[in-house]
Amino acid sequence: MALDPAYLEYPHRRHGYDHELYDWSCLHTRAPVRWPDGKTVAVWLCVSLEWFPIVPGGPFKAPGHMQTAYPDFRHYTARDYGNRVGVWRFLDAFAAAGVKASFATNAAIAERYPELIEAILADGHEIIAHSTDMNGTIDSSLSREAESALIGEAIARIVRAAGVRPSGWLSIARQQSWNTLDLLKEHGLAYCCDWVNDELPYRFRNGLVSLPLNHELSDRQIVAVQQKSAESWAESLTDAFDWLAGEGRAQGGAGRMLPVHLTPYIMGLPYRIDALERWLAAIAARDEAWFAPGNAIIAAWESHEQAQAEEAGRG
């Protein structure tokens, strides 16, 4: 018995990655990024607004999708609860804490629930494109043409329904194909949130910016997957904030980022929402915290990137 000899060949064994998507760099040796007003921890609240068709479709089934035989009233309605009730609790909680967030929004949500989009925009939050609906998953089984059409449709529908053009993109389950980064760039997007390999923005080789939305710190991972309580979620998020603030302090005021990925049907439940409210109040009271939507973090990081480039040019 033996494996195919090609299994012991390593054609991409070389310095750097075995792909061409972005370059390697170590967060701890980069020139420190500075956030506005000397803050050290950018807290990025990102809410996913998801509409699950009761008939699942797409290349793969999105997390949270229908599970029983048709018609799955249980999951269809439990997910839609987030859009009818939970997200309104989030909006009140963000207003009470005086913080701005990003809303990664299925185009179908913008079309179906205009009152919600109006309230999000009235409060000064950001809309990020998040595909068409929860059947709009992407993976390498899609042709380049089909994927391009999906991304184009998601953006066009959200622009038409919400009246704003998103600069960011979040894929469902953060899953991409080999073409996704180039297609997002071609469709005029500035950043995507799918790559969880870093804790600060960085630039892909094609010019798109990566804004890493840590999946380990999401309510889906901690509460729905690992089945911890809302209080345990809050404890972990506070521990993360403390650690990042400590790193920023130790590096002379260097910026760090804490992404907080929230799902209305998970953390927006009556028995969990107060843990989120208490956490927001506690962190908003911290001197190190800069609550900012994704596009504001990108803007601050891009000025830093430009200043670095100018410095390098002078040097």
Partner 1 sequence: MQEGAPDPDLYDYHPYRGRPKITWPGGKTVAVWVAPNLEYYEIDPPLHPSRKAWPTLHPSVVGFAHRDHSNRVSHWRMAEVMTKHGFPGSVSLSVALCQHHPEVVEDARARGWEFFSHGIYNTRYAYGMSEAQERAIIEDSIRTVMEATGQRIRGWLAPALTHTPRTLDLIAEYGFTYTCDLYHDDQVQEVKVRRGRLASIPYSLEVNDHYGFFVYNMSPREYAEALIRQYERLAAEGARSGTVMCIPLHAYLIGQPHRIGPFEQALRHIAADGRAWIARAGEIVDHWRAQTGGQG
Containing H/E element for 277? helix 273-284
Least distance between partner 1 and beta carbon 29 (Å): 9
Least distance between partner 1 and beta carbon 177 (Å): 8
Least distance between partner 1 and beta carbon 312 (Å): 20
Contact 292, 42 (CB under 8 A): yes
Output 173 or 208, the one with its CB closest to partner 1.
173
Among positions 140-159, residues that touch partner 1 (CB under 8 A) are 140-141
Q: Is 314 one of the binding residues for partner 1 (CB under 8 A)?
A: no
Radius of gyration of the chain (CA): 20
Contact 260, 100 (CB under 8 A): no
In sequence order, the β-bridge partners of residue 289 are 41
Segment near partner 1 (CB under 8 A); pick from 74-82, 154-162, 192-200, 280-288: 192-200
Report d(CA 244, CA 14) in Å as an integer.
32
Encoded one letter per residue, x for contact with partner 1 by CB under 8 A and - for no contact, window 14-33 reads: xxxxxx----xxxxx-----
Output 84 or 185, the one with its CB closest to partner 1.
185
The token pair that represents 21 in the structure block? 């998507």
Residues that bind partner 1 (rule: CB under 8 A) add up to a total of 62
Encoded one letter per residue, x for contact with partner 1 by CB under 8 A and - for no contact, window 213-252 reads: -xxxx----x--xxxx---x--xxx-xxxxxx--x-----
Encoded one letter per residue, x for contact with partner 1 by CB under 8 A and - for no contact, window 60-99 reads: x---------------------------------------
Least distance between partner 1 and beta carbon 43 (Å): 12
Least distance between partner 1 and beta carbon 26 (Å): 6
Strands (DSSP E) found in 121-266: 126-129, 168-169, 191-192, 202-203, 209-210, 256-262
Report the residue count for the chain.
315
Chain contacts with partner 1 (rule: CB under 8 A): 1-4, 6-8, 10, 12-19, 24-28, 59-60, 139-141, 171, 173-178, 194-199, 212, 214-217, 222, 225-228, 232, 235-237, 239-244, 247, 256, 258
